[in-house]
Structure 1
Amino acid sequence: MQVKDITSRDFWRAKKRIAPYITRTPLVYSPELSEKTGANIYLKFENLQAIGAFKVRGAANKILSLTDEQKAKGVSTFSTGNHGMAVAHIASRLGIKATVCMSKAVPAVKVKAISRWNPEILQNWDSQDAAGVYCYELEEKEGVVVIPPFDDKEIICGQGTMSLEILEDCPEIDTAIVPLSGGGLMSGVTLGFKLTVPDVKLIGVSHQRAAVMIESLKVGHPIEMPEEETLADSLLGGIGLDNKYTFDITRDFVDETIQVSEEEIAKGIAYIMENHHLIAEGASATGVALAMREGYIKPGSNVAIIVTGCGIPMSQVKQIVNDHF
């Protein structure tokens, strides 16, 4: 089976390619959540990756797919979050020059996090859009390859390798719950499952505040929206009006999309802290938040929930501890 120009072979190729550069994260049975729902609930802890997030999978697959000539010219990106860290981290391990472009307004804490892997950081612009434009200008002028955050075949296949790991660890999985934003993770996990076990149900879960992919699906084409403050800040951002892959894949192959409230997200973060003794950011907790919703999970089902990362400020952690414990 083939979707666009993506086949199941692409996922297995990506899995082999990135294996030396990522952590094969555990799929952990969640006794409390399983008892609450009457189902078998498993959590895929991608927050245990070296950079603290799943993004390293896609970045590794994309960078490793480049030719030697392309690697010699270097890579660039304009993400200031987990993708920026992933690109810098993988480039550092491979000895490739990485340039991360960002606006002057990016907080120092984010700059510091990305600086850990010693990329060249440029902060010459008043907006991230302008920084992104420069990345593509750099690609055109000097051949420096832009590593996009989600709407790219190799990025999608890298993220989807976790589907193969989940099926290896628990072949009985019949439902997967995945945080949904730009759709790189959602598309990868969806196709990773559907091209292998077509009857697995895929559920994309997002926040209620400016969920661009979900609103785009409602109107039938990619749209832009102003961002709103949310605990799930990693799910913010657009999907690109010229989206090539993730909108169509999400529309055609994801079985259900749903949104959770800020209070549900906070309870999801608290659940993971209390029962699994791990820190998860708001976006990571959306799947658990949905599973905790009374009557949502079908009893007897076998459910994998992706916990995507741990990039949460300690001030938020303290607030959640104060509110929920």
Structure 2
Amino acid sequence: MSEPSHGVTLAAIQAARRRLEGQVARTPLVRSEALSRRFDADILLKLETCQPTGAFKLRGATNMIAALIERHGREALAAGVVTASTGNHGRAVAHAAARLGIPAVVCLSRLVPADKAEAVAALGAEVRRVGESQDAAFAEVERLVRERGMVLIPPFDDPLIAAGQGTIGLELLEDAPDLDRVLAGLSGGGLLGGIGAALKALRPEVTVTGVSLSRGAAMAESLAAGHPLAVEEETSLGDSLGGGIGLDNRCTFALVREVMDEHYRVSEAAIAAAMVDFLEHEKRLVEGAAAVGLAALAEHGIAVRGQTVALILSGNAVSLETFDRARALAGC
């Protein structure tokens, strides 16, 4: 059997898991009693908020850097690594690079909240604010790769990144072998695509549900069009789900199209209500992008009765100011 064009195979995900052992957390999968009663289902929360950097992105970034060293030697990264990010991936690259003593530059658009930029800088990376979109930040990345010989660690569009995120899927099935459905945020496609690749290889009957923002959802618009599109970003509580997928996308567009079974878009009000719900009933402060699974269940009335359902709580990078905005929008 030939390897898929996107390159994210079960073998690649299993290799990622070996590289990540001892480098990232094997995060808990916990049952929410309140949500299980509310939806008459077994609702499980995958707590990627427990990663050292507070988000799932550490898996992909660490896997890629480790794989490059494994294949080409540490000297291949002597000029340092560079990326563009909406925040969490930048923290992941900064964390992984610092542990290995490798210089790192993280390019952020001006739409990325200040608290996320400060968190990246605190890990030792150089932060560059560039333009009003992810595409503008990527232009600066390309310049640094071209002029300084830095190595790009992309936020999502690479088989090594998606395979690292796919290790979440392996853990889900180990902890919940009867899993019926998983809901994950959909942006660039590394998270949902990687998880979906693992699940479809090992338990193909699991329903893989992607959740996007109601506005500025580049992957959703691209899938509807049948090819990658440039979509204008908009400010959102779920800002980690913003950004384009790249007109020359070579991995995640095909991957998501292959593994995703259904897709929902959620409003700002639904995201706000879910963020508040997680704090009030689960005592978990999560960012908007981490709350979209619950937002989709509530806003769209997805039929999950009697099912075992996993919600991916992807990150906790939310300021109190942003959370107060969510509370106000939710009417609290």
TM-score by shorter chain over 0.5: yes
2:4: which partner in 1? 3
C-alpha distance in structure 2 between counterparts of 1:107 and 1:317, whole Å = 12
Unaligned runs of 5+ in 2: none
Aligned partners of 1:257 and 1:139: how far apart in 2?
A: 35
Residue identity opposite 1:189 in structure 2: I
Would the alpha carbon gap of residues 17 and 130 (structure 1) be closer, same or farther in structure 2, given more than 3 Å must change?
A: same
CA displacement at 1:294 relative to structure 2? 6.6
Q: Find the aligned partners of 2:112 and 2:281 in 1 and give their Cα distance.
A: 34
Residues 127-169 of structure 1 deviation map (CA, whole Å, 9 limit, x = unaligned): 6645423423333444321100100000000011111111111
Measure how far apart 1:106 and its partner are. Answer: 6.3
Question: How is 1:137-286 mapped onto 2 (pairs within 5 angstroms)?
Answer: 137-286=143-292
Within 5 Å, which residues of 2 pair with 1:1-325? 2-4=3-5, 5-66=7-68, 67-68=72-73, 69-102=75-108, 108-122=114-128, 125-126=130-131, 129-293=135-299, 295-321=301-327, 323=330, 325=332
Partner of 1:6: helix, strand, or coil? coil
In structure 2, do the counterparts of structure 1 residues 297 and 119 end up closer, same or farther at CA, with 3 Å as the change threshold? same
**Displacement of 1:267 after TM fit?**
1.3
- In structure 1, what is the Cα distance between the partners aligned to 2:305 and 2:111? 47
Q: Which amino acid aligns with 2:84?
A: F
Provide the C-alpha distance between the structure 1 equivalents of 2:239 and 2:300, rounded to a whole number of angstroms.
Answer: 25
Whether the 8 Å contact between 2:8 and 2:194 is mirrored in structure 1 is: no
Amino acid at match of 1:257: H
Residues in 2 aligned to 1:105 and 1:32: alpha-carbon distance in whole angstroms? 34
Matching residue's letter, 1:3: P
- CA-to-aligned-CA distance 1:29-88 (integer Å, 9 cap, x gap): 011111121211101011121111111111000111112222333211122511111100
Tell me, yes or no, if the aligned pair for 1:187 and 1:246 is still in contact at 8 Å.
yes
Contact 2:237 2:326 in 1 (8 A): no
2:205 and 2:137 mapped to 1: Cα distance? 42
User: Normalized against structure 2, the TM-score is what?
Assistant: 0.91
CA–CA separation in structure 2 for the residues paired with 1:234 and 1:170: 27
> Aligned-residue CA RMSD in angstroms?
2.0
Which stretch has the larger CA shift, 251-260 or 107-116? 107-116
The runs of 5 or more residues in structure 1 that have no matched partner are none
Q: Secondary structure at the match of 1:78?
A: strand
CA contact (8 A) 1:210 1:225 kept: yes
- What is the CA deviation profile of residues 228-254 of structure 1, one whole-angstrom value per residue up to 9, with x for unaligned ones? 222111111111111111111212221
Is the Cα–Cα contact under 8 Å of residues 55 and 86 in structure 1 kept in the other structure?
yes
Q: Answer yes or no: is the 8 Å Cα contact 2:59–2:165 preserved in 1.
A: yes
TM-score normalized with structure 1 length:
0.93
Q: Distance in 2 between matches of 1:104 and 1:225?
A: 17
- Residues 153 and 245 of structure 1 are in contact (CA less than 8 Å); yes or no, is this contact kept in structure 2? yes
Identity %: 44
Could you tell me how far 1:292 is from its partner in structure 2? 2.6
Q: Residue 21 of structure 1: SS of its match in structure 2?
A: coil
**In 2 relative to 1, CA 49–324 (structure 1 residues): closer, same or farther, beyond 3 Å?**
farther
Q: Aligned in 2, Cα 1:298/1:316: closer, same or farther, shift over 3 Å?
A: same
1:107 & 1:266 partners in 2: Cα distance?
17
Whether contact under 8 Å (1:70, 1:143) holds in the other structure is no
Deviates more, 1:141-150 or 1:155-164: 141-150
Separation in 2 of the partners of 1:150 and 1:51? 17
Contact kept, 8 Å, 2:87 with 2:108, in 1: the verdict is no
Q: Which moved more, 1:24-33 or 1:76-85?
A: 76-85
Distance 1:126 1:36, change over 3 A: closer
The alignment covers a number of residue pairs equal to 324
Q: What is the identity, as a one-letter code, of the residue corresponding to 1:292?
A: A
3-state SS of paired residue (2:22): helix
For residues 260 and 136 of structure 2, what CA distance do their matches in structure 1 show?
Answer: 33
CA distance in structure 1 between the aligned counterparts of 2:213 and 2:24, rounded to whole angstroms = 28
Q: Compared with structure 1, are the counterparts of its residues 108 and 203 closer, same or farther at alpha carbon in structure 2 (3 Å cutoff)?
A: closer
Q: How many angstroms does 1:107 deviate by?
A: 5.8
